[in-house]
Amino acid sequence: MMVKLKIPNKLVITVSGLHGTGKTTYAKALSKVFGLRHVSAGEIFRKIAKEKGLTLQGLTKLAKEKKEIDELIDSRIKEEAKKGLVVIDGLLSAWMAGKNAHIKIYLFAPDKVRFKRIARRDKISYEEARKVTLEREKIEKERYKKFYGLDLDNLTIYDIVFNTDLLPVNSNIKILRDVIKEYIKARWG
């Protein structure tokens, strides 16, 4: 499904959204389609949690008090965005990539769908996924408001807001691919 198109040498696509919306799934697919690198803030966060011997909830709670954890992830995202030729996924990826981002995508899905996906991915019960996710997102919203002054409910920064529960994954990827292709053609010919 690789696209034959002249890709600008600094192209940066960001994929944001709440947990379980498919950020990493879609970012990986788009990076493959356009021949770009892929960087995941979530994977960086999970790696830090593992290195510190913490659960995701534990690191989330620690990050609420220590801005250094976010700064570590943010600096990596900013650095990768400056290099270009990348698809970056993460809740704050559009904000952190800033002016380097050409296309900013926000993914969403109904809560029930998100919690099912998280339960399947993390091999936990639906109820545990719901509880952990809602707690984590509440802390993150407070943290990003406190540290960055960001309102995560304000989606005006995004170019595309897309429901990942609309169609099967492959169909959704084709839709996003086509929109991005048209953008590249319009912007860079």
Is residue 1 in some structural domain? no
**145-171: average pLDDT:** 96
Split at pLDDT 50, 70, 90, the class of 165 is very high
SS (H, E, C) 146-188: HHHCCCCCCCCCCCEEEECCCCCHHHHHHHHHHHHHHHHHHHH
Mean of per-residue pLDDT scores for the chain: 93
CA-based R_g, the chain, Å: 16
Q: What is the pLDDT of residues 61-105, one digit of tens each?
A: 888 888 888 898 899 899 999 999 999 999 999 999 999 999 999
In this prediction, residue 1 carries a pLDDT of 60
Task: Kindly indicate the confidence band of residue 6, based on its pLDDT and cuts at 50, 70 and 90.
Answer: confident
pLDDT tens track for 117-153:
999 999 999 999 999 999 989 998 998 999 899 999 9
Inside any domain, residue 53: yes
Q: Is residue 40 part of a domain?
A: yes
Whole-number pLDDT of residue 47: 85
> 6-20, 96-110, 169-183: lowest mean pLDDT where?
6-20
Predicted pLDDT at 2: 64
37-40 and 12-17 beta bridge pairing:
unpaired
- Domain of 92, CATH number, reads 3.40.50.300
Residue 6 inside a domain? The answer is: no
- What total of structural domains would you count in the chain? 1
Residue 189 lies in a domain: no
Residue 52's SS3 state is: coil
Alpha helices, DSSP H only, in the chain?
23-34, 41-51, 56-65, 67-83, 93-97, 111-122, 126-148, 169-188
Whether 111 is covered by a domain: the verdict is: yes
Domain that holds residue 70: 12-184
Give residue-wise pLDDT tens across range 12-23: 999 999 999 999
